[in-house]
Structure formats: C-alpha cells, structure tokens
Amino acid sequence: MSIDVRHRRHSRPVGRLCVHDLTPARARDASGPSATRDSGFLFRWRVRYSAMQKVAAYRLEHNITDDDARSAEIDEIIGLLRKWLVEKRADDPSANEGEFRSERDDSSGRFEWQQSEYERRSWRMLRLSEELAQGRQFETSISVTDTGRSVVVYTTLASGLISSAVTPVRTEARCPRPIRGILDLHTSWYHGTTRIQGLRRTEGHEAGRQLADEIRSSSRTLPLIVISEDDGEQFLPKLDKKLSRSLLGLANVTVIDEGASWGLTDVLGKGRSCYWGAIRIYWPRYDENRHQIWRVRRLLDSGATTERFEAQIRSHVMRVSALSAVRPKDIDQIRRGSDRARMQHVQEQLKSREEWEAYAEMYASDNTKLLQKNERLEEENSRLRDELQNAQALLGALPEHDEEILPDRADEEEDPGPTKGEIRYYKKIGSSRKMDKMVETSACGHSAWQSAHKADKAKKGIERYVGRRDWKSVQHCGSCTGGGMWKVQW
C-alpha cells in the first residue's frame, strides 16, 4: 500500500514491514541543487507487508584491500545478477524495477534494485518476489556490499503466503543460480574464517587425521558433511555430488575412504567418527554440538534413497543457516550514513524558519504514525507466526517431506547385535556391485530352508548390516520371492 506524504524512502525492512528511506522522488533522478523546494517534487512513503519466513541465508566474503579490484569484482557480480534477470525473462533487465515471468510454475514476479553509498563504502541489493501457485510467494534478496576492505554477498530466501492463512507452507528452496556463478569467479570466498569449497575427497590414514583436526578446529564456521565409503562405494549413490551442489556456500562436503575413516577414528574416537558407509554432519563448535550420524543400518531400515535423503539434509542445513548466518553490519551503517547525508542535503534547501518548522512538524507527525503502524503490524506478525507454528505442531506437519529419516543417537555405539545361539532373519531389499542390501525382519513362516554355501554377496550384506560375521550357519528360504529371505544362527 502507499501513503502519500512529503518524503520517499529507500526500502528498509523492519521484520517484514518495509519502509522506504527518506529521499526526494525527483532528486533520485536529478540529485543536487536542482532538487529544491520550488521544484514541486513529491515525497512518498511506501509500506509493504507480507507474512514471509526466511528459509535460508548465504554469506560470502572476499577480502580485497585494493579499491579498484573491489570495484571491478562488484561490477562483475552485478553483471551476473543482470544476466539472471535476462534468464528470468524480465521485461527490462536494465531497469531499477520491473516484472518478469517466473521459471517457477510459469508464474509472475517482480524485481527491484536498491542502493546506498557512504564515504568509500557502497551497498546494492536485488530483490525478486515470485507469486507461486496456491497463493504462495517466494522472495530472493541478494545484496552486494563494499565494506572498504572486502566484498560481502549476503543472500536470503524467504517463503510465505500472499494473503493471511494459518496453514503449513510447503517450500522447496534451492541454491540460487547467481550464488553458483559468484562462487565460480574464484576460490577465495569465505564464510567467516572457513573457505567455501566444492566437493572434496579424503584418502588415506594421514589425510583422515588432518580432517579430524579440521573438524575439531574452534575457528571453523561452516558445517562439514562427511560421507564414508564402504568397499569403495557410497551407500547412497551420487549423494556427494547432489549435496555439494545443493548446499554450495552453506556446507562443505567430503567423501572419505576406509583409510581416512581409520585416521578419523584414531583422533576422534569411534563414537565420533564416521565409517562403513555412514553419513555425518559435523557442525561448527565441535565440543558444544552433537553431530548427527546416519549409519547404514538406519538408512536401510528407513528405506532411504539418494533423492529423499538429499532433500532432507538440504532442508535441514538451509533452516539452520536462516537462523545463524549474520547479516553484515556494514549494510545498516552505509544506509544510515547515506540517509544522514541526504537529510543534510534536504535541510540545506530550507531557507527560512517557517520552512524549517513546517518541515519538522510534518516529519514528526508522519514518523509517529508510521511507528504506530509498525507496532501494530509487528504484533499481528507475531500472532500469525505463533498460530502457524501451533497449526504445524497440531497437524504434525513436515512441509518438505512426508517422513523424516531420523539420525542415530550420536552418543551411542553400534547395536551390539545378536547373542550366541540366537536366530535372526534378514531380507534382501537391493544390491550394489559388491554386496546385497539387507534389513532385519521377522520370520517368513516357511520351512524350506536351504544351506547357503556360496551367496557371497548376501553374506557380505549381512556382515555390513550387523557389523560382524561370526555366525554359525546361514540359510536361504526356497519359498520366498521378491529379493530373498535369510535365516542366520549366531
């Protein structure tokens, strides 16, 4: 909605309330002495509000002390964002605001640029708002800041409803294309003290010990996802490539072989290591956080697939980033400094005491009204957020996935397994190049058990599932179909 007063403001979000910064509407096109009180310019407040929830946040930092080099890199990044608008079929990609035809569900969208400069620092932001099916909205904001000593790219993804409704909002957020393009410019992007990396591979005992030191480092600022191999294979094929692509800029991903797993175990201990096909997230602050692990047995019992597990981990890491990636403080400093400079310019145009008094009275009145409106909207926003969370809790809603694959308890060892003389039953649910994939099940009720003198892949699968091979006998059911049933006496 728009409220006509005597000033216009560049967008500054307060919660989800956006109030535009104080600047003459005509002075934006022709700043300087020509924008005087006699120019007849109109100032305008624009207030925009919608119930949006941040679902991910990226922070990319590149330290550059040379002013010209920083300026050149920012120009290159802005060029990538303009190219993105072209790919999005914007009606006029060179404009400061406009419309585009979204790639999502062929729905409509709008974009706008905002910018501020103060002394030797600058800030520019591109915001895209897409209206999706079923009354949903998705917003991407990418800001590029010259801090005077570095280039910082801060990006947020937000999702919500166009109109108010207390209902779970399904979101399928992914890494924005410009983020990948920006990270491809060079390999010197950091989040805090940790360099952002692509997919890595760690091989050998000594490399595993070095990886353990990286995991324990108190200065690490990005999660590290470790995917362990078993006999040279990942349990979930191509998970490493999918996660490294979808979480680029939010987490570093590495695959470790058996030797590296032993090195990891030597330093961290068995309970905090990762081996035999397990997958683990090591969060920063090693001693303070529990690090989720999914062992092969858990993945088998959950019927995990590469696509399902990748979507779950992507959603989880993105939600964590939305809460923990800090917005650069330079942005507010630059915008406040720019506001003060523009205010001083306007004040210099006021000649008489009467003009000053009229200006001050008008500004104070408008400011009071907007503060009151802001408070009402914030209260409404808080109420709706609580109602949404309560509704999700009551419905047991998981917006992204129907059923979560729960991790193993990080502080417990593997299941000790069967006791001597115990009989257990295992069913084949799949196979890899070197072994069958097994899960434990109940007896099938048949009596056609046959000795399994060979069945090397089945035995290897049982060994990997249980963690040992000291069985007394292994028998195969001659009546069962659909993968096969195995009876094992320990």
pLDDT-based confidence at residue 228 (cuts at 50, 70, 90): very high
Q: How many residues does the chain have?
A: 490
Quick one: how far is CA 71 from the chain centroid? 28
* pLDDT, tens digit (0-9, with 9 covering 90-100), for 53-79: 889 999 999 999 999 999 999 999 999
User: How does DSSP assign 79-129, residue by residue?
Assistant: HHHHHHHHHTTBS-TTSSEEEEE-SSTT-EEEEEEEEEEETTEEEEEEEEE
Q: Could you tell me if 111 and 98 are in contact, meaning their C-beta atoms sit under 8 angstroms apart?
A: yes
Please indicate whether residue 12 or residue 461 has the higher confidence score (pLDDT).
461
Give percent of the chain with pLDDT exceeding 90.
Answer: 39
Structure tokens at 110: 């709008």
Q: Which residues contact 216 (CB under 8 A, 6 or more apart)?
A: 267, 268, 286, 287
**Within the chain, which residue ranges are assigned CATH 3.40.30?**
192-304
The Cα–Cα gap between 298 and 318 comes to 23
Rounded to an integer, the average pLDDT of 394-423 is 66
Give the model's confidence band at 151: pLDDT under 50 very low, under 70 low, under 90 confident, else very high. very high
Which pLDDT does position 81 carry in this prediction? 96
Phi, psi angles (nearest 5°) of residue 331 = -60, -50
- Beta-carbon contacts of residue 268 (< 8 Å; ≥ 6 apart): 212, 215, 216
Per CATH, which fold does 192-304 belong to? Glutaredoxin (3.40.30)
The C-alpha angle with vertex 193 and arms to 176 and 217, in degrees rounded to 5, equals 115
Q: pLDDT tens for residues 307-318?
A: 999 999 999 999
- 277 in Cβ contact with 235 (< 8 Å): yes
